Each structure stands twice: as structure tokens, then as C-alpha cells.
Amino acid sequence: MPLLQNKNIPPVKKLTKYKILTIYCKCGEKLLKYKKGPGRRLLKIHRDRITEDFTGIFINDYSEKGTDIYCRSCNERIATVQIVNGKYVNKVNQGQLGITK
């Protein structure tokens, strides 16, 4: 006997699951609340996924591509501005980041 199919049920879409992480500089400065997608490490910060910018150095920054972003507390480079498809994306300096879940 064939299975009945309910046509009112839309096909299951795979939704990207984000985890909200609080991101710190290595020095302990609280930087961001960020919705991170699945995957290993945080390599890039997409601005539309920032839920809170504690220092304002990311979300309010519209510097030219290639500009470095420094921690306000320890003055180390945290990220570099990149523009991907017209959107601001910050490429993370892995060595300067401490991530807390």
C-alpha cells in the first residue's frame, strides 16, 4: 500500500543554526556578541551577525578595505577590514582572539 503524502507540508528546509558567542580579545577586553554559524573557528566577522558590539570598533567602522582594527585596551590588531560582495567583513587575527561560548 502506497504511503499517503500530505501536500500541505512544505519541504523541510535546512536552516543555518547559529550559536551566539561572546568574543573576547586575548587581553580580556569584551568585544562582541556574535552569531556564529556552524564550522570550526571564527575566521571572519560578518557585520550582520553581530548582535552586540561592546566597544563599537567593529559595527561603526567603515574604513577602507585593508584597514586594521585594533583593540582599544591593548592596541593589538584584532581584525582587518575586508569588503566581500559590497559588505563589510572583518578578517580575524586568530592569534589575538579569545573566544568564549
Instruction: Give the footprint of Zn ion on this chain (CB under 5 A).
Output: 25, 27, 29, 71, 73-74
Q: Which is nearer to Zn ion, 25 or 32 (CB)?
A: 25
Distance CA 87, CA 47 (A): 8
DSSP string of 41-100, one letter each residue: S--EEEGGGEEEESSSTTTT--PPTT-EEE-TTT--EEEEEEEETTEEEEEE-GGGEEEE
Q: How far is the CB of 51 from Zn ion (least distance, A)?
A: 20
Supply the minimum distance, in Å, between the C-beta of residue 78 and Zn ion: 7
Nearer to Zn ion, 74 or 84 (CB): 74
Nearer to Zn ion, 18 or 57 (CB): 57
Q: Three-class SS of residue 19?
A: strand
Smallest separation, CB 84 to Zn ion (Å): 25
